[in-house]
Structure 1
């Protein structure tokens, strides 16, 4: 004799089998907690930068500094062989130290390979200006024949020739000198009002064309050590 099986009984049977299978599996195999995922290893760049930052903060070797000095990271440049050059600007009591830049060379394993600072002496400058920024700008303007604009001015510590630094107003002038374009940085002592240093971002130079020989003459603009 045939018996009819309703959909409700089929559903109940399926549910019972599912629960039974789950019970058997749980009994046969003890539950094991999934291992916590291990943290991802730091990237080569992060390892190098971290090592360089620690060296700068500690004042390692050439980065020796006083208690009021800090190094602030500015840029990171990849080199060959997994090396990274990390550039820093120096500050003294919050003031930029012009001439106190530093570079740390670190590798992808987080090891410092070398360091170099433009200024070895500790900074010991005053931080209160006696000369106003306006007066310093007026003095700075005398160093450029034609001044088109004043791009910026700021209070800095100027370090040069191994000294401990002098508080100065750095004024950046845009214009021309002797018919040539100029972007002149002028440093006026913030205590005495005298010009203690200056340099121009624009420099003239000559070069020979690779293909046309020495005859052609072109105007050039200096950018760092190249044109």
Structure 2
């Protein structure tokens, strides 16, 4: 995701698409009444027919190769034009044999940004439907630019500087693309600007420029603002960590979860850093330290990665962020007094700052789950980190970060519907965000309106966060794990939740099977209803609850 929160001194440019980097701060359907379920229910998925099947790396690779070989036939079958081709991005196979193939689209050999789609096939191979971000086929009059690439690059650099970027430079020459994210598809340039944002977060600003007129069409941020040893963590108490013994030295290297490693940047801002090692396999002290070699932050980061991996595997059968069994890596002690954390797809890594005075690292469990979930979004729906799709991107990370916290069942950091409550980023003991009534943070939206898309993505996420809370727990006043909540509804309706377990399954299936890069809130309603129908049936309590919860946040 982008940095974890939005900073008021500038406009935060959101994160989370092709190169996803995210940080925590400022990343006519029927309705009905939901039926109660205990809020303390397990997050493990029942063996539902439409639930995703856990594939081995070899099986997944084979299925992707098969679908790519059939891509020309598929393109014809779904009515694409002669200049359009499909490139497989991901494949999901359900327990009942249904296959959902996510494709990127090209036109005359150029990437079509916003042209991604998902083809749904039955176990017999018959096409059941197509989910498209771009609803219609198209033709582009010419793929010959009318402006020079240097003009597009200059515009991108200017945009980055206006957003407060420091040490700004283009990462590479602008590339020709077809922009189909909004309006009529046109030939465009995509320029990626590197350097650093104004708070020290790495910059990956993607600027889309019309190749005929030179007009800026879109921009988004690509950085989304993460042997068994003993970890004495700052936020989660004393925990078990899977480590590796190399000779007589222990390494903070988890070979059982895709090879995840935890590195020390020691105040640096680039590179991998140095792998944490130790002589006695006890990591950290459980107390905050301003030392750039402190192991406590590393222990929290390693624990967060461990729990996030296990949450996705046990809850959804997902084998790592990319679902390919490969682990990311984590970096701690980024920069000096850096008050943020971020996921970066380009390095496939999670990075944490040490917070104010270098004594408040942003390494709590829900932050780790939030940031690494940006990687999951990037490798599935690829929700553009801008406008309403950016809000959905951020909410997805809050939703799954919350899921990780409940899943871990850690007595030092019990599950709740508060985001970043342990890191005290506001300095007054309040959390960063509230899911039961998002507006309590002073900026987030409780309900959808036509202006929601113009908010910073960390605030427009409130609509989906509120939806998820209502779907899970219902409306009104209640206490869960010692935390008091009081969730209102736009239409005054009284809702009873279906439980967090079912709500998580519905959101995950919607993200991985029915959302595309340009999905907005109305599309999220459709996607989650499709997911609820596939998982539980269109006449189920869960389906009715999804419709009712969206109505309760003014999404129709």
Which TM bucket (shorter chain)?
Answer: 0.5 to 0.7
- The aligned residue for residue 117 of structure 1 is 132
Structure number with the bigger relative contact order (C-alpha 8 A, sep ≥ 6) is: 2
- The aligned residue for residue 422 of structure 2 is 215
User: Are the counterparts in 2 of residues 151 and 174 from structure 1 also a CA contact under 8 Å?
Assistant: no
CA distance in 1, matches of 2:64, 2:102: 15
- The aligned residue for residue 196 of structure 2 is 176
**Relative to total residues, which structure has the larger strand share, 1 or 2?**
1
- The aligned residue for residue 97 of structure 1 is 112
- Alignment partner of 1:122: what SS? coil
Pair 129,203 (structure 1): closer, same or farther in 2 beyond 3 Å: same
CA shift, 1:82, in A, is 1.6
CA distance in 2, matches of 1:75, 1:168: 26
The total of aligned residue pairs comes to: 174
CA distance in 2, matches of 1:106, 1:121: 20
Pair 81,165 (structure 1): closer, same or farther in 2 beyond 3 Å: same
Pair 50,216 (structure 1): closer, same or farther in 2 beyond 3 Å: closer
CA distance in 2, matches of 1:90, 1:157: 10
CA shift, 1:92, in A, is 1.6
Name the stretch that deviates more: 113-122 or 136-145.
Answer: 113-122
Match of 2:149 among 133, 141, 165: 133
CA distance in 1, matches of 2:74, 2:424: 45
CA shift, 1:149, in A, is 4.8
TM-score, normalised to structure 2, is 0.28
Pair 80,174 (structure 1): closer, same or farther in 2 beyond 3 Å: farther
- The aligned residue for residue 191 of structure 1 is 212
CA distance in 1, matches of 2:194, 2:126: 43
CA shift, 1:155, in A, is 0.2
- The aligned residue for residue 25 of structure 1 is none
CA distance in 2, matches of 1:90, 1:199: 20
CA distance in 1, matches of 2:135, 2:111: 16
CA distance in 1, matches of 2:65, 2:152: 44
- The aligned residue for residue 56 of structure 1 is 74
- Alignment partner of 2:136: what SS? coil
Runs (5+) with no aligned partner, structure 1: 1-43
- The aligned residue for residue 551 of structure 2 is none
- The aligned residue for residue 165 of structure 1 is 185
TM-score, normalised to structure 1, is 0.63
Runs (5+) with no aligned partner, structure 2: 1-61, 226-393, 415-420, 426-431, 433-457, 459-510, 512-556
Superposed CA deviations along residues 137-196 of structure 1, whole A, max 9, x for unmatched, are: 1111111122255145310110133x3311111011223333133311110111111211
CA shift, 1:48, in A, is 7.5
- Alignment partner of 1:58: what SS? helix
Larger-Rg structure? 1
CA distance in 2, matches of 1:185, 1:47: 30
CA distance in 1, matches of 2:178, 2:153: 16
Pair 54,68 (structure 1): closer, same or farther in 2 beyond 3 Å: closer
Superposed CA deviations along residues 103-138 of structure 1, whole A, max 9, x for unmatched, are: 112233222222112112222222110111122111
User: Are the counterparts in 2 of residues 50 and 110 from structure 1 also a CA contact under 8 Å?
Assistant: no
User: Are the counterparts in 1 of residues 71 and 85 from structure 2 also a CA contact under 8 Å?
Assistant: no
Match of 1:142 among 151, 158, 164: 158
CA distance in 2, matches of 1:155, 1:46: 26
